[in-house]
């Protein structure tokens, strides 16, 4: 084990209020902080394990997200700074989503089947990416985080309340197992 490696960033879980807050745009003055944050976010995401992580999920209120769908089990890291959906299909697709901020909770979410996203990459270059399938859903899910929206905000109130009650119960049981900490 690398004793010089920084501690993993903790991933915030519901009901942390940061998760419901709109993140601010990354500005040029944030460049050093963002450069230092990106590898730490990837480390936390891979350790969780997950396929996407937005800065607010680690307590940083910046419009930054990292994604890696690991196609063919090979890393394919994607960094999106100030991402925005600039086009979305009228056709919808429903797929099961989960979230590192709602551990162990899943629900079917309906979103546009295809999106085009404009963003800046880690080097600051402006990029556009058109996606469908899992990548499309993941991009929309992570950009939602930057706006303080969780996947449970996109499902029925009944399903949302069931998930929140189940999560609260699991968190309570975990605290009891941990000795009340």
Strands laid side by side in the 78-88 sheet: 52-54, 64-67, 78-88, 114-120, 126-132
Phi-psi region of 109 (alpha: psi -120 to 50; beta: other; left: phi over 0): beta
8 A C-beta contact, residue 130 and residue 113: no
Q: Could you give the CA distance from residue 12 to residue 57 in angstroms, rounded to a whole number?
A: 5
96 is catalytic: no
* Active-site residue identified among 84, 97, 128, 142: 142
Q: Write out the catalytic residue numbers.
A: 142
């Amino acid at each position: 084990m690398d004793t010089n490696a920084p501690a993993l960033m903790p991933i915030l879980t519901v009901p942390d209020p940061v998760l419901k807050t709109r993140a601010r745009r990354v500005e040029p003055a944030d460049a050093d902080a963002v450069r230092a944050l990106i590898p730490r976010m990837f480390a936390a995401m891979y350790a969780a394990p997950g396929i996407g992580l937005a800065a607010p999920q680690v307590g940083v209120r910046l419009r930054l997200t990292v994604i890696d769908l690991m196609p063919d089990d090979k890393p394919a890291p994607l960094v999106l700074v100030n991402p925005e959906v600039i086009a979305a299909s009228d056709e919808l697709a429903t797929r099961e989503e989960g979230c590192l901020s709602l551990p162990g909770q899943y629900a079917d979410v309906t979103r546009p089947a295809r999106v085009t996203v404009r963003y800046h990459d880690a080097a600051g270059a402006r990029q556009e990416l058109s996606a469908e399938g899992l990548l499309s859903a993941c991009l929309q899910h992570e950009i939602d985080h930057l706006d303080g929206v969780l996947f449970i905000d996109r499902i029925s109130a009944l399903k949302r309340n069931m998930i929140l009650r189940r999560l609260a119960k699991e968190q309570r049981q975990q605290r009891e197992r941990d000795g009340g900490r």
